[in-house]
Chains A and B, each alone.
Chain A
Amino acid sequence: MKEEAGDFIVLEGEVLENLPNTLFRVKVNSSEKIILCYLSGKMRKNYIKILPGDKVKFELSRYDMERGRIIYRV
C-alpha cells in the first residue's frame, strides 16, 4: 500500500542493543516500550554508526507499530 507523510509518526528513543541482521532494539523515550528498528537507507549510505546508548529519532508506520526505521542520530 502506498504510504504518505501522514502515515508515519516520529519518535525519539535510546538504542539498547545492536542485533544481528543490522537491526536495533530501541527503547521509546518516556515509555517502557521497545521497538525493533531497521536503519534508514540514508544513514546506511552515509556510514553513520549506531551503538547502544545512542539517542535516535525513528519513524513508526501507522500500518506496523512494531517496527521502526531509524532516521537520525541525535
Chain B
Amino acid sequence: MITYKTDAEIEIMRVGGEKLKNVMKKLLPQVRAGITTNDINTLAVKYLKEQGADISFNKVEGYKWAVCVPINEQVVHTPPTKRVLKDGDVLTIDIGAYYQGFHTDHAIALVVGGKSTPEIDRFLQVGREALDLAIAQAKVGNRIGHISEAIEKKVTGAGYTIMKQLTGHGVGHELHEDPFIPGYVTKSIDKTMKLKAGMVLALEVIYSMGSSEIAYEEDQEWSIITADRSMSACFEHTVAITDKNTLVLT
C-alpha cells in the first residue's frame, strides 16, 4: 500500500533530507585510506546528531548501525567493521536520516584516495548520470516504468549490469515502503504504476560490471555481494513528487 504524503509531511522530509545532505557533505572529505568503515559509522552518527536528526538504518530490525558501506564486490547492506580502507577501493556510503518520524535515504559511490582508473571513473560516472536521468523521469504524468527504463538504458547501454533483485522504494514513516522501483523494465511501461503527487521515492541505481545476480557474503548476516564478485556501486537520492515539480530532498 502506498502512502501519499501531504505538503506538510513533504516539508518535514525536505528538512530531514537537507540534514542528510549536509551529513554526507561532511562525511565525504573524511574518507581516506587508513580509516576503517567503523570510523565512517562513528562520524555519521556524530554528524547526524549535530544536524539534529536521528539514525534511520538502526530502525530496521537487527541492523545496529547508521550506514551501509559496501566496497568493491559488496553491493548493499554491508555493515561497518574494522576493515581498513585502501586507496583505489570503490566505496558506497549509504546513509539514512530519521527526522520527526520520517526517513530519508541517500547513497554515493566514490574511489578512496582518488586513485582511480579511467575504467572505474567511467563506471561511476555512468551511475551518477543514470540517477540524474531517473530523477528527470520522476514526475506526475509518468509511470514507474519510465524511471526503470531510464536507469536500464543508461547502465546497460554503457555495458554494465543492473542488479535485478535490488530496487528503489517508497520512503516515509518506514525506510522501505511501496512502491518498489526496479532499475530495469520488468513489464510493459503502461502496466506499471502511475506516479502521483505525494509519492516520496528513494531512487536507486544499483549496478555492477558483471553479474546481475546477488549472493550473501559468506558467514555474514547482512552483506550482499555480486554473485561473480564483480565490481559494484550504488547511487541514491530521495525525491518528492508534487503537482508542480519534483524535489530532490537529499
User: Which residues of B sit under 8 angstroms from A69, Cβ to Cβ?
Assistant: 61-62
Confirm or deny: A6 has a beta carbon within 8 angstroms of a beta carbon on chain B: no
- Of B61, B176, B220, the residue contacting A45 (CB under 8 A) is B220
> With A22-B224, A44-B221 as given contacts, are A38 and B61 in contact (CB-CB < 8 Å)?
yes
User: Which residues of B sit under 8 angstroms from A47, Cβ to Cβ?
Assistant: 216
- Count of residues in B whose CB is under 8 Å from the partner chain: 20
Residue among A36, A40, A44 with max Cβ neighbours from chain B (10 Å) = A44
Pick out which of these stretches binds chain A: B30-38, B80-88, B161-169.
B161-169
Give the secondary structure class of B's interface.
Answer: loop
User: Which residues of A sit under 8 angstroms from B4, Cβ to Cβ?
Assistant: none
Q: Would you call B166 and A67 a contact (CB within 8 A)?
A: no
What CA separation (Å) do A22 and B68 show in the bound complex?
15
Would you give the shortest CB distance from B9 to chain A, in whole angstroms?
17
Would you give the shortest CB distance from A13 to chain B, in whole angstroms?
15
User: Which residues of B sit under 8 angstroms from A45, Cβ to Cβ?
Assistant: 216, 219-221
Q: Would you call B216 and A21 a contact (CB within 8 A)?
A: no
Confirm or deny: A14 has a beta carbon within 8 angstroms of a beta carbon on chain B: no
User: Which residues of A sit under 8 angstroms from B224, Cβ to Cβ?
Assistant: 22
Interface string of A32-57 (1 = CB under 8 A from B): 00001010111011010000000000
Q: Would you call B62 and A41 a contact (CB within 8 A)?
A: yes
User: Which residues of A sit under 8 angstroms from B216, Cβ to Cβ?
Assistant: 44-45, 47
Confirm or deny: B153 has a beta carbon within 8 angstroms of a beta carbon on chain A: no
- Of B61, B165, B174, B220, the residue contacting A21 (CB under 8 A) is B165
> With A38-B61, A40-B62, A41-B62 as given contacts, are A20 and B219 in contact (CB-CB < 8 Å)?
no
User: Which residues of B sit under 8 angstroms from A41, Cβ to Cβ?
Assistant: 62, 221-222
Q: Would you call A21 and B221 a contact (CB within 8 A)?
A: no
Confirm or deny: A19 has a beta carbon within 8 angstroms of a beta carbon on chain B: yes
Q: Would you call A61 and B221 a contact (CB within 8 A)?
A: no
Please give me the residue from chain B that is nearest to A41 by CB atom. B221
Q: Would you call A21 and B180 a contact (CB within 8 A)?
A: yes
Binding site for B on A (CB under 8 A): 19-23, 36, 38, 40-42, 44-45, 47, 59, 61, 64, 66-69
Lowest 8 CB-CB distances: which A-B pairs, in order?
A: A41-B221, A20-B167, A69-B61, A20-B180, A44-B221, A44-B216, A45-B221, A20-B165
